[in-house]
Chain A
């Protein structure tokens, strides 16, 4: 049913830019269709909050996340766009900018921009560092002002390149919210000095985040990228969809731990699998996306490399609800941590048994992803993170805790730590900690300096100064500020435990 009232409110809003209105109106139109078969039981899980499809819309007409093979694009150009293979740095940058405009996603913006250092390095030629940095500055500024959604991600590493160093140098000076950067790090491949530059940049402007390259090779080999909010996905493919189970809400329906493990969890996860398959079928069979997109025709994406992401969130509060009679707390009490591990093990076993349609790359199975949250989440902590306030005293214990749970999530999981500002005087210390964290099984982490303007909310970056504006009812450029501002308050992110004090 078309929601006239909501659409009119969007149309007449004083807080949205024109572009934000346009996209919201499109969403209202999409939601007027009822093309998906959704059983009554599944609707009930939606209503009590146990299942959430993250506003993907009622009639999927493009995949959630698209991981274009930009390397191939730069080699072959594009017939559809009449773009010839670039020969210079300017041509390469403009070729990318033109293609980004045509890469859809659930946000309508590209969520993955490619491994920018290895993409651009072959084009640097004889140009001076200053000239290259100036080009990068214009390129990144263009992206920040036109891709007005922080769920947009560029990758770096794991090798050191001249382009990588110059990108870090430029990013450090710009301190933009878009794009997010992640560096793929492998201590055996990535030199310490390059990583220290990356960490320095990270303490300056909260970018890049750091991905455990070796640990993330597992699902798709080296042809993977990090997109949006820590989604590890196959390049030349992507994710059809992402629906999550909110363990907090599901646990509230449980009469006992056994009831939760043996009845609710299997039932709810099956409902999610069925729902995602319904979405994938419509997208593949009805929407026409894969038949009409030039990205498919030109081999820049391949339907066989798309996956369905099975999201999990709110583990902490889920466990705390199940154990509330005993007063045990996730992140603090071993019995709670143990139950958390059993729940994830159960989710893995159950989902391993659920077929996913049109997913040959993953042998017709879904991939687990620790979903980082929504602005509407109250009392639901991202993925498997420890809620603010319950963090262990010891940073090392916190990292060991992360390492214990990250392995369950091949499609992405991550933790965020504010770091004491004096650490910028000893970058190798933070690198030592990263090495230890990766050895302890951490798959992905990000830092920001405790006093910086750019803060990580659940994975995306928002400026504190922009959140202030939004709170004062002013129009702001990035739609993620709308998401970040309430989350920052509700989840008390200002009170995250500062590490390495």
Chain B
């Protein structure tokens, strides 16, 4: 993820004020990942929905696609300090410096998320940058209570070098590492990351390139198919996820495609069929009703007919 350093510099996570003194000059363009740094939208100490057991989930900021059904669109972009969110902040936690930087005072924030709702770019002014060490120190106090860490987003795989270094530390502490991936980044390019990853929860999005492009706002790279093979070969598919909305998502084609690629292996793969829900969604689908349970069950039955055996509807 490349970004231009804003006026006033970057907002660092805890105990990292010292970094601000270094050569991070406003106006220059940097590649965060290669610098061992990642923007963190938020962390959930104790998540029950991001893999097996209790897990600490880290949401990294920034995504390379724009799904119509995205339920946390405020994680998609990096703040460009336009200042649009500042004036209406009800608690006065947001301000803009004379140099133009948007600042956020966490202790004053009431977490109303109005700033997210008004952001024209689907970004957040509440993001901190973390080094690998700082992020490890932030999550490791939870380790007695959780099985491991899940990297989610945004799109976590946009930070492969960062994740590799972070996961190494987490695994050294005896915990497992999972990635929530949207499938658009070719993971075979990052064997070091896969070597320290315990599993990937992979989104299927859509199969047909046209359907895919209309759903996620970007041309298909074909990486989903490649990732399925890469991950299946390494036995790293923790689960496959399909958010289903008839008319927008070619659910049957997705399942057929996966079954064609992976053959018998689909028997052992956990398939999560997720009902589209408009909660948090912005844009054309924000009022769209969820598919009926019958529609979900019909899709489940279809999956079963293709050989999937571990299926859950959420």
Of the candidates A394, A399, A500, the one whose C-beta lies within 8 Å of that of B48 is A500
Total interface residues on B, CB under 8 Å, equals 16
Encode B134-170 as 1/0 by CB contact (under 8 A) with A.
Answer: 0000000110111100000000000000000000000
In the complex the two chains form, is A422's CB within 8 Å of B49's CB? yes
Of the candidates B46, B52, B141, the one whose C-beta lies within 8 Å of that of A500 is B46
Complex contacts, A435 vs chain B, CB 8 Å: 144-145
Query: 24 A-B contacts, Cβ less than 8 Å apart?
Result: A395-B45, A396-B45, A396-B145, A422-B48, A422-B49, A425-B48, A426-B52, A428-B52, A428-B53, A428-B54, A428-B147, A429-B46, A429-B47, A430-B54, A432-B53, A433-B145, A435-B144, A435-B145, A436-B54, A436-B144, A436-B145, A436-B146, A440-B145, A500-B46
Q: A426-B53, A433-B54, A436-B146 are in contact. Are A395 and B48 (CB under 8 A)?
A: no
Q: Once bound together, how far apart are the Cα atoms of A116 and B239, in whole Å?
A: 40
Complex contacts, B48 vs chain A, CB 8 Å: 420, 422-423, 425-426, 429-430, 500
Instruction: Find the B residue at minimum CB distance from A434.
Output: B145
Of the candidates A399, A422, A428, the one whose C-beta lies within 8 Å of that of B145 is A399
Binding site for A on B (CB under 8 A): 45-49, 52-55, 141-142, 144-147, 314
Interface: A23 (CB within 8 A): no
Complex contacts, A440 vs chain B, CB 8 Å: 144-145
Total interface residues on A, CB under 8 Å, equals 21
Q: Taking the nearest CB of chain B, how far is it from the CB of A435, in angstroms?
A: 8
Instruction: Find the A residue at minimum CB distance from B47.
Output: A429
CB-contacts of A196-227 with B (<8 A): none
Interface: A437 (CB within 8 A): yes
Complex contacts, A429 vs chain B, CB 8 Å: 46-48, 53-55
Complex contacts, A174 vs chain B, CB 8 Å: none
Complex contacts, B145 vs chain A, CB 8 Å: 396, 399, 432-433, 435-437, 440
Complex contacts, B49 vs chain A, CB 8 Å: 422, 426
Q: Once bound together, how far apart are the Cα atoms of A423 and B48, in whole Å?
A: 7
Q: Taking the nearest CB of chain A, how far is it from the CB of B50, in angstroms?
A: 10
Complex contacts, A436 vs chain B, CB 8 Å: 54, 144-146
CB-contacts of A419-460 with B (<8 A): 420, 422-423, 425-426, 428-433, 435-437, 439-440
In the complex the two chains form, is B53's CB within 8 Å of A395's CB? no
Sorted nearest first, the 4 A-B pairs with minimum C-beta distance are A436-B145, A432-B54, A429-B54, A429-B48
Q: Once bound together, how far apart are the Cα atoms of A399 and B142, in whole Å?
A: 11
Q: Once bound together, how far apart are the Cα atoms of A437 and B144, in whole Å?
A: 8
Q: Taking the nearest CB of chain B, how far is it from the CB of A432, in angstroms?
A: 4
Complex contacts, A425 vs chain B, CB 8 Å: 48, 314
Q: Taking the nearest CB of chain B, how far is it from the CB of A187, in angstroms?
A: 12
